[in-house]
A = this chain, B = another copy of it.
Amino acid sequence: MAEFSLIETIRERCAVARDDVRLGIGDDGAVLAVPIGHELVVSTDTLVAGVHFPLQTAPFDIGWKALAVNLSDLAAMGANPAWATLALTLPSADAPWVEKFADGFAALAREHQLALVGGDTTRGPLSITITVFGFVPAGAAVTRAGAKAGDWICVTGTLGDAAAGLACVLACEDGADELIGRLNRPAPRIAAGLLLREVASAAIDISDGLLADLGHICARSGVGAEVCVDDLPMSEAFGEYADAPTRQRLQLAGGDDYELCFSVQPDRAPALLWDLAQSGCAATRIGQIVVGREIMLTDDSGAQIEMPLRGWEHFA
């Protein structure tokens, strides 16, 4: 399979028509039109085999996940997805692998009317870099920087599932399909992100674990946080997965769930949580923003608890 038929395979399987793509794949660059009154939101993520996904991950899931982790960043900014570029480095031009990879990418791209507008294919150790492009009305992007003391801290969905799924994969455990599904096919919270726009004071997606990512909001906003570990939302499958200390560790420091963590003023919170629940992506209050710089953990009784944890860091 030559380079150009490889590109053709990807292009065919990922075709999504959009009027704002003036020129798509096939030239030196794509030509794209951003709607008037809107700003462009851009995010890039690389997935390296064996680092960001286990080597045995199915190619469909790799394609899905590589796009999902990028779309999750758009969700956290409150952006509407529009386009993506795909840089694919492969050890060899394995046609069935590429077809399944493209199908996984395309399945998620179609869900979000996202057009693949360019990319590159090169030979080398398996790795995937995707850049995604979305729109926000000018000035409306949600950032990490607006959280204020007194704001509620909330998260969408449930936490810990993907980290538990990874543990199951690595232990070759059966019967954890739901948890492994969360690991392999995360659902970027695009619709939730749109609801956060002009309501949330700050937002981030949870890719490296709640403590690490909430820590970014605190650092950028110049605030601290109090999180009640007993309020962290969990799925039924996750609740059955392990003992309480293990679960807490995964919920606080496991990553890869790609849920949104956001802050919102108390008077705006109930309506937002209602809207999110109506949209099919319920969110849960897990604590509040406080004066200071630290993240404190408490339990149900309000007692402070110690847990020296942090999230995932490359090169740490």
User: For residue A52, which residues in chain B have a CB less than 8 angstroms away from its CB?
Assistant: 122
Q: How many of A's residues come within 8 Å of B, CB to CB?
A: 73
Also in contact, A44 and B89, with CB within 8 A (given A2-B313, A27-B143): no
Interface residue? A170 (CB, 8 A): no
| Chain B residues positioned under 8 Å from A273 (CB to CB) | none
Within 8 A of B (CB), among A82-117: 83, 85-87, 89-90, 92-93, 117
- Give CA–CA (A52, B123) in the complex, Å: 10
Beta-carbon contact of A31 and B136 below 8 Å: yes
CB of A39 within 8 A of CB of B32, answer: yes
Chain B residues, CB < 8 A from A42: 29-30, 32, 83, 85, 117-118, 131, 133
A122 to B49, CA, bound (A): 11
Nearest-neighbour CB distance to chain B for A208, whole angstroms, equals: 10
Considering residues A127, A134, A314, which has the most beta carbons from chain B within 10 angstroms of its beta carbon?
Answer: A314
Knowing A2-B316, A138-B33, the reply to whether A122 touches B46 (Cβ < 8 A) is: yes
Q: Is the CB of B315 within 8 A of A123?
A: yes
Q: A125-153, CB under 8 A of B: which get 1 and which 0?
A: 10101010110101101011100000000
Q: In the assembly, what is the distance between CA of A64 and CA of B37, in Å?
A: 35
A contact residues vs B (CB 8 Å cutoff): 1-4, 6, 22-23, 26-34, 36, 39-52, 73-74, 76-77, 79, 83, 85-87, 89-90, 92-93, 117-125, 127, 129, 131, 133-134, 136, 138-139, 141, 143-145, 203-205, 220, 313-316
Can you give 9 A-B contacts (C-beta < 8 A)? A1-B315, A28-B73, A28-B77, A42-B117, A44-B131, A45-B120, A46-B120, A51-B123, A123-B315
